[in-house]
């Protein structure tokens, strides 16, 4: 596909975009999106050769980096063989992709239901939990994002939540977040104990017999990379067991390498009943997601029809990209790299920045999944105002760094392939920009 490139391709792209593309989660009028023409590894660039270090991973997605040659080759090879086939067929590429995923899952997870992304994975997990239990309600936290479709957006707890009459039975509760504790806790132990007590009271208040599932991001991502305190997830598992509730762990953002582990929950003493995934499984090279299903829930549908499916579920190009991505991640030690870089470079680097800049209230995370919480006042923890966050974001982009900025936080979320030198480059950019922030203004 030879697109005509000219010296004004940047402007032409922007003109086309503003004339014809309706953007998600945006007021359309004042938009001036960044033009991106190509990428490789941790870098992307525009048509004029302006380069950016991608510390956003494009919505925390390209775990394997941009344009990994093995994934591109796998997609091309599949494209020559077969580009589309209905989900009802048996397809070798699909079977191999599913096996690679279940091989990484805990014992007792042997089936994968493929979707086109993360929201529809959660949508189908909710449906499975409701059919499995014969119950209705889904409990999820206020600080969560589960996707932008019917039940997933109602399960979402952040500012995007839409009370929506056709997705019934959603109830929200507070999860742990020690830095801004809802429970007046001052230690992780207190936060765990009180957050679990709160959840149990919500379960009892709603009536356990009405609750199909508790759906949690293992590490809430967009809401702030809220690493759960010790014992919390195991405690939720125990509550689910006590009250016969299905535990759905949403690993769409946290899964497949981001935390330095294949699944984020591998780092906690917990095994869910349903695992949802997307993003990192193939770094979004072709849209894909899915639900990894534990044996008892899968067995429900041995004789009964599972009422779900999409024309493109298990699409061959997506499946080939999953195989390419997971094999390259395993063969090249990419998940281990994420763990090491987090431990040796990002974590200590952010801690140094926090020592130097009062604007950083807290740093938290692991692997290539970190947040810096920016405050106007360290004592009161008052969030840095939105206008200042906007100035910080613009200053970082001006220095050639693509940041992930959400509310009063900068999420440090490069690809799992990031090098120590690239981390040093990003830290220098954050450092330079924070130096200009005085008394809450940039």
List residues near ligand PLP by CB under 6 A. 59, 117-119, 122, 145-147, 217, 221-222, 250, 252-253, 278, 289
In the 8-state DSSP scheme, what is residue 41?
B
- Taking the least distance from each CB to ligand PLP, the nearer of 266 and 358 is 266
Q: Which helix (H) or strand (E) holds 98?
A: helix 92-104
Q: Which residue is nearest to ligand PLP (CB)?
A: 118
- Taking the least distance from each CB to ligand PLP, the nearer of 254 and 429 is 254
CB of 222 to ligand PLP, least distance (A): 5
- Taking the least distance from each CB to ligand PLP, the nearer of 98 and 252 is 252
In the 8-state DSSP scheme, what is residue 203?
H
Within a 13 Å sphere around the CA of 415, how many CA atoms are in the beta-carbon half? Answer: 27
Tell me the β-bridge partners of 52. Answer: 44
Within a 13 Å sphere around the CA of 192, how many CA atoms are in the beta-carbon half? Answer: 14
Interhelix angle 316-331/334-341, rounded to 10 degrees, is: 60
CB of 252 to ligand PLP, least distance (A): 3
CB of 131 to ligand PLP, least distance (A): 21
Contact 423, 351 (CB under 8 A): no
- Taking the least distance from each CB to ligand PLP, the nearer of 371 and 437 is 371
- Taking the least distance from each CB to ligand PLP, the nearer of 160 and 399 is 160
Contact 328, 70 (CB under 8 A): yes
- The tokens describing 141, both together, are 């936290």
Q: Characterize the bridge pairing of strands 360-366 and 404-406.
A: unpaired
CB of 48 to ligand PLP, least distance (A): 30
CB of 138 to ligand PLP, least distance (A): 14
CB of 117 to ligand PLP, least distance (A): 3
CB-based contacts of 107: which residues, under 8 Å, 6+ apart?
none
- Taking the least distance from each CB to ligand PLP, the nearer of 117 and 365 is 117
CB-based contacts of 434: which residues, under 8 Å, 6+ apart?
353, 356, 357, 359, 360, 392
Q: How far apart are CA 267 and CA 259, in angstroms?
A: 9
- Taking the least distance from each CB to ligand PLP, the nearer of 157 and 324 is 157
CB of 375 to ligand PLP, least distance (A): 24
């Amino acid at each position: 596909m030879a697109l005509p490139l000219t010296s004004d391709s940047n402007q032409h792209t922007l003109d086309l975009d503003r004339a014809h593309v309706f953007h998600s989660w945006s007021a359309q009028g004042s938009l001036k999106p960044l033009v991106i023409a190509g990428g490789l590894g941790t870098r992307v660039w525009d048509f004029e050769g302006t380069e950016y270090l991608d510390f956003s991973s494009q919505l925390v997605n390209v775990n394997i980096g941009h344009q990994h040659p093995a994934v591109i080759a796998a997609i091309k090879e599949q494209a020559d063989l077969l580009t589309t086939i209905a989900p009802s067929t048996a397809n070798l590429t699909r079977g191999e992709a599913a096996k690679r995923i279940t091989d990484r899952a805990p014992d007792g997870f042997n089936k994968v239901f493929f979707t086109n992304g993360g929201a529809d994975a959660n949508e189908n997990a909710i449906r499975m939990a409701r059919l499995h239990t014969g119950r209705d309600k889904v409990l999820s936290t206020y600080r969560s994002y589960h996707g932008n479709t019917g039940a997933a957006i109602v399960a979402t707890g952040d500012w995007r939540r839409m009370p929506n009459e056709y997705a019934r039975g959603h109830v929200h509760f507070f999860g742990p977040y020690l830095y801004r504790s809802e429970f007046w806790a001052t230690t992780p132990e207190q936060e765990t104990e009180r957050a679990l007590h709160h959840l149990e009271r919500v379960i009892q208040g709603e009536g356990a017999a009405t609750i199909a599932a508790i759906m949690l991001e293992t590490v809430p991502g967009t809401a702030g990379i809220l690493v759960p305190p010790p014992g919390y997830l195991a405690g939720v598992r125990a509550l689910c067991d006590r009250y016969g509730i299905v535990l759905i762990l949403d690993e769409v953002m946290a899964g497949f390498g981001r935390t330095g582990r294949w699944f984020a929950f591998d780092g906690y003493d917990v095994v869910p009943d349903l695992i949802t995934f997307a993003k990192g499984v193939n770094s979004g090279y072709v849209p894909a997601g899915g639900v990894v299903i534990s044996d008892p829930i899968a067995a429900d549908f041995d004789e009964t029809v599972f009422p779900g499916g999409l024309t493109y579920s298990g699409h061959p190009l997506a499946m080939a990209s999953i195989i390419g991505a997971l094999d390259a991640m395993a063969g090249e030690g990419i998940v281990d790299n994420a763990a090491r870089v987090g431990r040796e470079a990002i974590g200590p680097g952010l801690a140094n920045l926090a020592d130097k800049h009062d604007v950083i209230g807290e740093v938290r995370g692991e692997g290539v999944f970190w947040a810096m919480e920016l405050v106007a006042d360290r004592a009161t923890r008052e969030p840095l105002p939105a206008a200042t966050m906007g100035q910080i974001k613009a200053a970082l982009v001006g220095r050639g760094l693509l940041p992930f900025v959400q509310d009063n936080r900068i999420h440090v979320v490069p690809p799992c392939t990031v090098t120590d030198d690239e981390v040093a480059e990003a830290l220098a950019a954050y450092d330079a920009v924070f130096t200009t922030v005085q008394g809450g203004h940039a």
